[in-house]
A = this chain, B = another copy of it.
Amino acid sequence: MARRPPTITLDSFDLGILAILQRDTTTPQRVIGEAVHLSAPAVQRRIRRMEEAGVIQAHVAVIDPALVGQSITIFVEVEVISETADLLDAAKRDFAAAPEVQQCYYVTGEADFVLVVVVPSMAAYESLTRRLFFNNPNVKRFRTFVAMDRVKVGLAVPLDEASGGSTVG
């Protein structure tokens, strides 16, 4: 299941392709080819190679949460009591398993975890906090930040020239 991705080198062609794909996957390979000065089959081969290397992790549709009834986005900083490997792994699994938890990062600093949570109502969030935090004896405290404005949302990675030419994987 977790096969090691092969090591590959990304050139400026690959970066150009990635820049387009991380904005819009529906762009035809022919159009991408014109943009980066390559033929469609060449584009297709490079995309496949980057998929196999794990550079492209997935092709997904971005859904507006508000339009499917999930209108509240919340940030949560979680502080744990013990940072034992076992307990951390358990916490990671719990957080990651919750569908309401859109993103979860283990961080340094004044908090141990940062979560991005999407819920339909504050009642649902209250329920989630009970399930994930109050029921977890290893959670010391957590702080809630309710999003009033999703100023910028995405997973786009900055693709500057520094990324090119280097071997990764």
Q: Give the B-binding residues of A (Cβ under 8 A).
A: 5, 10, 15, 18, 21-26, 53-70, 73, 75, 77, 92, 95-96, 99-111, 113-114, 118-120, 143-159, 162-163, 166, 168-169
Contacts and interface: CB of A to CB of B under 8 A. Distances in A.
B61 A56 contact: yes
B15 A60 contact: no
Kindly name the residue among A61, A66, A73, A111 whose own CB sees the greatest number of chain B CB atoms within 10 A.
A61
Nearest to A148: B106
Report the copy number of this chain in the oligomer: 2
Nearest to A57: B62
Given A75-B114, A110-B145, A118-B157, 6 more contacts: A55-B67, A59-B61, A62-B155, A69-B162, A69-B168, A108-B146
Contact of A18 (B61, B96, B103, B156): B61
Contacts of A146: 107-109
A66 B53 CA distance: 12
4 A-B pairs with the lowest CB-CB distances in the bound complex, closest first: A21-B61, A106-B149, A107-B145, A69-B163
